Structure 1
Amino acid sequence: MSIDVLNETDERVDELELLACARYCMEQMRVHPQADLCIKLVDEPAMSVLHEQWMDLPGPTDVMSFPMDELRPGREGQEPEEGTLGDIVLCPSVATRQAAEAGHAPMEEMLLLTTHGILHLLGYDHAEPDEEREMFELQRQLLLTFLATRNRPVD
């Protein structure tokens, strides 16, 4: 599994923790062990450009996902597909504000957004109520089990 974390901001982010979370989520979702993922951290102006270009919405957002080979979660008894999962773009400053509003650490928000982004890359969505319930429950399970395995506090 090849996962790159590229921090193009001045924000201090635990890149190894993002990497560990992404690896955990991909393993739990039975993504092919040779699949590629890139996590890019950008500032608000860069995220605003992406948000406007791809979603036609103004201003920065917290996370965007750009699937490549449209990989799907592996199924028990089936060989998962090889390929490039895609790119996740995170905006740490937006995540920090959201974390403050939610009452948890900025890194916890970044891990949540990483998990959220991976699920989008795997074809999950939250446009409809049923889809939202399924995606957010899976996101919650993945994040909680990841944090439980880490055995250390999140800054």
Structure 2
Amino acid sequence: MSIEVSNESGMQVDEQALIDVARFALARLDVHPAAELSMVLVDLDTMADLHMRWMDLPGPTDVMSFPMDELEPGGRPDAPEPGPSMLGDIVLCPEFAAGQADKAGHSVAHELALLTVHGVLHLLGYDHAEPAEEKEMFGLQNQLLADWYAALEQAERQAALRERDRRLLGKAGFFDRSDPRGSERT
């Protein structure tokens, strides 16, 4: 999966975390692994301009999605196997997201992860214009985000256990300390 991030916002952002959460959501939604996605982080003025130009709404917003290829869930029955495609662009405004995060009482990193998943869902055809659509989209968004955090916690636990085992086995003499690779003694 190719995901590119261009940070033009002037704010420090953990771009790798945005890539990771987007990749996680796309994989969970069974999007072809060779699909491409572009993410652009912009300032308030740029987002306000995009918001007016594309949505005819004044002022900045948090996230906008611009799908590239027409995607149909499940595809057509007479179509060949689905292949890679350019999903489109997600535009995030970290400064706007920071204000939302403050009001919601959580971190900017969490808000940007949430908005990234939200943007991915829009690229895949989800919407929240109607109450039933909103319930489906926000439910899926919240589940994907919760699953991503659970996967991060599991990875952190496994890394801590590996480090603990490495230290314990090293102290017990199971690894040859003179070998920089830490290979087992035979």
Relative to the length of structure 1, the TM-score reads 0.92
What's the secondary structure of 1:54's corresponding residue? Answer: helix
Q: Which string of whole-angstrom CA distances, capped at 9 and with x for unpartnered residues, describes residues 17-57 of structure 1?
A: 00000000000001111110001000000001100000000
Partner of 1:127: 129
Q: Which string of whole-angstrom CA distances, capped at 9 and with x for unpartnered residues, describes residues 70-121 of structure 1?
A: 234568xx94442110000000000000000001000000000000000000
Partner of 1:140: 142
Once the two structures are TM-superposed, the CA of residue 61 in structure 1 deviates from its matched residue by: 0.3
Once the two structures are TM-superposed, the CA of residue 148 in structure 1 deviates from its matched residue by: 1.2
| CA–CA distance in structure 2, aligned partners of residues 30 and 71 of structure 1 | 13
How many percent identity over aligned positions?
A: 58
> What is the total number of aligned residue pairs between the two structures?
150
Once the two structures are TM-superposed, the CA of residue 147 in structure 1 deviates from its matched residue by: 1.0
| CA–CA distance in structure 2, aligned partners of residues 72 and 147 of structure 1 | 28
Partner of 2:108: 106
What's the secondary structure of 1:146's corresponding residue? Answer: helix
What's the secondary structure of 2:109's corresponding residue? Answer: helix
| Greater RCO structure (CA 8 Å; 6+ sep) | 1
Q: CA contact under 8 A between 1:30 and 1:80: conserved in structure 2?
A: no
Partner of 1:2: 2
Stretches (4+) displaced over 6 A: none
Report the structure number with the largest CA radius of gyration.
2
Q: Which segments of 5 or more consecutive residues in structure 2 lack a partner in the other structure?
A: 157-186
Partner of 2:13: 13
Cα gap change, 1:112 to 1:74, in 2 (>3 Å): farther
| CA–CA distance in structure 2, aligned partners of residues 43 and 16 of structure 1 | 19
**Paired residues for 1:1-155 under 5 Å:** 1-72=1-72, 79-151=81-153
1:93 alignment partner AA: E
What's the secondary structure of 1:87's corresponding residue? Answer: strand
Aligned-residue RMSD, C-alpha: 1.5
Cα gap change, 1:27 to 1:21, in 2 (>3 Å): same
What's the secondary structure of 2:24's corresponding residue? Answer: helix
Q: Which segments of 5 or more consecutive residues in structure 1 lack a partner in the other structure?
A: none
| CA–CA distance in structure 1, aligned partners of residues 59 and 100 of structure 2 | 15
2:30 alignment partner AA: R
Q: CA contact under 8 A between 1:29 and 1:74: conserved in structure 2?
A: no
